[in-house]
Amino acid sequence: MKKVFPMEELDCANCAAKIEAAIGKLEGVESANVNFMTQKLTLVASDDLFDSILEQAKRIVKKIEPDCAILT
């Protein structure tokens, strides 16, 4: 399943890269892409794990950039 999520307060390009790398390493994730300019996360992951992956992704974002959030 592929879904695109808008993000807010994504202010630092390096953090975007870090978030992308960290989400990409989660189990069940086929590809994760954080677009710094459009502030969007494109997540391709297996269907049955998707919800838990999204939860983990949100935690990763909070950890790396406390101001930033994935909007769902």
One symbol per residue from 38 to 57: x for binding another protein (CB under 8 A), - otherwise; what is it?
Answer: xxx-x---------------
**Judged by CB under 8 A, does residue 66 bind another protein?**
yes
Question: In the beta sheet, which residues pair with residue 32?
Answer: 43
Shortest spacing between CB 45 and another protein, in angstroms: 14
**Judged by CB under 8 A, does residue 8 bind another protein?**
no
Whichever of 1 and 48 has its CB closer to another protein, that residue is 1
Q: Which two three-digit tokens encode residue 24?
A: 């990409």
Question: Which residue has tokens 């790396």?
Answer: 64
Query: What is the signed CA dihedral for 41, 2, 55, 69, rounded to 10 degrees?
Result: 20
